[in-house]
Structure 1
Amino acid sequence: MWRYLVLYWHFFKARVKVMMEYRVDFLIGITSNIFTQGTSILFIAIVFQHIDAIHGWTFYEMMFIYAVAMLGRSLEHTFFDNLWMLGGQYIRPGNFDRILIRPVNALFQVVADRLQQDGIGSLIIGLIVLFTSTPHLDIHWGAAQVIWFIVMIISSGIIFLAVNLFFASLSFWMVDSLPIMYAVQRTSDFARYPMNIFGKGIRFVLTWIIPYGFTAFYPAAMFIDDSGFQNVAVWTPVAALISITIAYLLWNRGLRSFTSTGN
């Protein structure tokens, strides 16, 4: 473990130096992400100018859910975004062969090979929304609540990672599963809204099949007293552990089935 921490630190420093060589691009990436997320928040704000609540959920409760989603997504987006490139930049052109001959875990190499600055934009907007919404909610931030919140954010990031890793691993059989990854990732937008506004089918899929519900709504509901979902929300860390385990098992299965495109 210590060896991989040291290796990642060297990868991390190298990626930061590369980003700093193109500082304008770095700032544009962060700013564009903030603008994109800001337009989504603006849309919700416009809707709530005409209504008081959506299925019992107020504007600031919705913003709190959104903040949890952004903070969890920022972890995955910043440190694990290179999984999106697995098929197109590694398997299809034959670059994955180079990774396999190194005496280092293949997944570690793919993950450490990129640092995505756009994720910093998600982190910034998530923090802004969090600190804007919480003063309007009846949340008492003691030490236990802060620890639980950090656990929930980390669990959210792990679930985002697990879903992407699972569908990225399909590239070992399909060469490039990017279209599937993109289609699945779009469904995560549903998790930024209360689950009880959707039908039973959507709630079932987002809770038990593609567990995006545990990336935003359920973790946020843990801190809202009258949400009625605390019994489900408390299982968020378990959902994260199960999800990443299943995804990593599929990754290992894909490695054993991998055939170089150069053959």
Structure 2
Amino acid sequence: MRRLRYYIRLWNGYQRISLLMVTQYPADTVIWILSMLLREASAFLGVVTIANVAGGFGRWNLYELCLLFSMCAIIEAIGQSFFDNIWGINYHVKDGLLDVYMIRPASVFIQLLGERFHYQAVISMTAYIGLMIYSMVHLGIGLGIGTLFFLLEFLICGTAVNSGIYLIFNSLNFWLIQGNDLPVLVQTCREFAKYPLSVFPSMIGCFFTFIIPFGFVGYYPAAYLTGKSGNWVLFAMPVCALTIGLIGSVIWRTGIRGYESTGN
């Protein structure tokens, strides 16, 4: 319990520093928010344009696509806000920066995450939440107790899957000299999660379900809400999140145990 209180205070301290940085550079914060919104908006407009021309994606109409897109964007925004420094493992290993963390009386992983928060993503996330609610209203999906609990499960499990996948591939930098290209490739593949996997060949659907399960970041939860998938999603999401979390933890711990400063 004492250790837990220590980490809570440490985490709060890191967040306070990040909030001060956001207010210290307001212009940079505004530019960051606008760039993120524009990036997501361009991808969203592409999906909407294709859907309008083709009359939808398979059995997915426009509002269902809006729901899918918004759920994916919310998870990505949470990852960018609180877990974005996972992408810093590469230069922390190459430059020997983990040495500083290892001589401190705190978890190296917590220190790594706490070094950088992007609260700008939290602000921009409100737009995605608005889009999700807008889509649910037009689809007749009520915000009852069951739906709210499902959305909470989705936020927790989706974040664990999304950030866990990035942790797995970024932790390979402990062994690879130029290992950052691989997680960037994986991040690019994540764009498939913004589309209904059912419109792709079954091989692609299986890949994003069992190999790199980005399907649980948006597609399967959205399919459940729209009645296109059964109750198995309720059980599959936590199983997937736990599996990815355990794999990521094992690879990270193995890497940090073998870490020998710069030149690792």
Q: TM-score range by the shorter chain?
A: over 0.9
Q: Which residue of 2 aligns with 1:150?
A: 152
1:20 partnered with 2:27: no
Task: Name the amino acid aligned to 1:228.
Answer: S
Q: Which residue of 1 aligns with 2:68?
A: 65
Farther-moved stretch of structure 1 (17-26 vs 123-132): 123-132
CA contact (8 A) 2:52 2:62 kept: no
Which runs of no fewer than 5 residues in structure 1 stay unpaired?
A: none
Segments of 4+ moved more than 4 angstroms: none
Q: Distance in 2 between matches of 1:121 and 1:179?
A: 29
1:197 partnered with 2:191: no
Task: Name the amino acid aligned to 1:238.
Answer: V
In the TM superposition, residue 157 of structure 1 has moved relative to its aligned partner by 1.0
In the TM superposition, residue 50 of structure 1 has moved relative to its aligned partner by 2.0
1:36 partnered with 2:39: yes
In the TM superposition, residue 196 of structure 1 has moved relative to its aligned partner by 0.9
CA contact (8 A) 2:168 2:251 kept: yes
In the TM superposition, residue 101 of structure 1 has moved relative to its aligned partner by 1.1
Q: Determine helix, strand or coil for the equivalent of 2:225.
A: coil
1:260 partnered with 2:245: no
1:77 partnered with 2:80: yes
Q: 2:48 aligns with which of 45, 58, 74?
A: 45
Q: Distance in 2 between matches of 1:48 and 1:224?
A: 17
TM alignment of 1:83-232, pairs within 5 A: 83-88=86-91, 90-120=92-122, 122-225=124-227, 227-232=228-233
- Count of aligned residue pairs for this structure pair: 261
Farther-moved stretch of structure 1 (123-132 vs 251-260): 123-132
Q: Which residue of 1 aligns with 2:252?
A: 251
Q: Distance in 2 between matches of 1:228 and 1:115?
A: 35
User: CA offsets, 1:151-197, max 9 Å, x none?
Assistant: 11221111111011111111111255221111101111101111111
Q: Distance in 2 between matches of 1:229 and 1:190?
A: 21
In the TM superposition, residue 45 of structure 1 has moved relative to its aligned partner by 2.2
Task: Name the amino acid aligned to 1:2.
Answer: R
Q: Which residue of 1 aligns with 2:242?
A: 241
Q: Distance in 1 between matches of 2:60 and 2:10?
A: 45
Q: RMSD of the TM alignment (CA)? A: 1.6
CA contact (8 A) 2:171 2:252 kept: yes
Q: Distance in 2 between matches of 1:68 and 1:163?
A: 17
In the TM superposition, residue 229 of structure 1 has moved relative to its aligned partner by 4.8
CA contact (8 A) 1:222 1:230 kept: yes
Q: Distance in 2 between matches of 1:74 and 1:148?
A: 19
CA contact (8 A) 2:70 2:128 kept: yes
CA contact (8 A) 2:164 2:244 kept: yes
Percentage of matched positions with identical amino acids = 26
Which runs of no fewer than 5 residues in structure 2 stay unpaired?
A: none
Q: Distance in 1 between matches of 2:14 and 2:133?
A: 32
In the TM superposition, residue 28 of structure 1 has moved relative to its aligned partner by 0.7
TM-score by length of 1: 0.94
Cα gap change, 1:174 to 1:137, in 2 (>3 Å): same
Q: Distance in 1 between matches of 2:122 and 2:33?
A: 6
